Each structure stands twice: as structure tokens, then as C-alpha cells.
């Protein structure tokens, strides 16, 4: 696994988990 791949995975997890969770809590 390269550093770029790890960074992309972290960004996806933060975007999906944090994004959807935050939107659902607000609404």
C-alpha cells in the first residue's frame, strides 16, 4: 500500500462517515 492510497482511503472514510452522519444529524 502506498501513502497516496492510504490518504485517499482516509479522505473517503471521513467524507462518507462524517459527511452523511453530519447531514443526518442536522436534518
CA dist list (Å): 15 to 11, 26: 6, 16
What tens digit of pLDDT does each residue of 1-27 get? 799 999 999 998 888 877 666 666 666
Question: Please, what sign has the CA dihedral across residues 17, 20, 23, 27?
Answer: negative
3-class SS letters over the chain: CCHHHHHHHHHHHHHHHHHHHHHHHHC
Amino acid at each position: 500500500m502506498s501513502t497516496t492510497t492510504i490518504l485517499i482511503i482516509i479522505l473517503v472514510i471521513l467524507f462518507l462517515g462524517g459527511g452523511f452522519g453530519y447531514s443526518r444529524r442536522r436534518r
